[in-house]
Amino acid sequence: MKNYFITFCFDGTNYYGTQKQSKFPSVTQTFEDVLKTIYLEDIKFLCCSRLDRGVHGLFLGGNFLTDSEKIDVGNMVYTFNRLLPSDIRVLSASIVAEDFSSRYDAVRKTYLYRINTSEVCSPFLIKYCYHSFLKIDFNKLENVKKLFIGEHDFYSFSTEDEDKNTVNTIESIDIIKEDDNISIRISGRKFLRYQIRYIVGAMLEFAYNKISMEDIIYRLNNRDRKSKRFKVEAKGLFLENVEFDFKRSLNAEI
């Protein structure tokens, strides 16, 4: 049995996330359909992260196991990209240890949230960013980010189906402004569902002078989902990069 690891990117516009859905298209189901076309059998595809509907991926990993030798690993990139829809592209393929898991051996994830502040946002950009009609105080964005860095209980910054362990650690938040575009990068080992979108939403509320730092501190210190919360749109969110533990890898990347 060989464990194949691939890296890929995708435009999430037409997908209901990465997880399999019973009635709607997903990234995982698309990969499994291609695997069945290639190997003529049902093969499970494990994606490194559970992304929601409309979220995009710039560099992700996934793995699958099979004892079939129908495709040499060196030909996988070409074969997959011939069969996948054009909004998903495989970037590389390699063989890893049989017990390697793209989900559990992911050690760091970096999310990018893109914001545009121009009066008129280009139709070629608006599909992939949050267009802010309100003026953003950039200095306030920079000042408020420090509240989220470190270990916190992010219960108030997650969805209702996250009720087990809502404590995690944000390693860094970097914000860059270039003309009318703002990029917010948030890194950590793991994140809760909607966590990034609620955090960016709270940062924008503060930058809009709608809430205070004390309001955010209260949310971080109290498990409160009943108060009104601002969740930014999915289309501006990208899983930009995922780092993996390859200590058990058998072969270098092809």
Instruction: Give catalytic residue positions.
Output: 52
**Sole residue written with tokens 């049995």:** 1
Sign of the torsion angle spanned by Cα atoms 162, 128, 21, 68:
negative
Q: What are residue 32's phi and psi, to 5 degrees?
A: -65, -35
Residues 6+ apart with CB under 8 A from 10: 27, 56, 57, 60, 87, 88, 89
User: What gap in Å lies between CA 116 and CA 128, rounded to an integer?
Assistant: 10
Q: What are residue 200's phi and psi, to 5 degrees?
A: -60, -40
The first and second tokens of residue 64, run together, are 């699958």
Residues 6+ apart with CB under 8 A from 163: none
Q: What are residue 196's phi and psi, to 5 degrees?
A: -60, -45
E strand or H helix at 198: helix 195-207
- Three-state DSSP state, 240: strand
* Residue 245 near residue 63, CB atoms below 8 Å: no
Decide the pairing of beta strands 130-131 and 237-244. Answer: unpaired
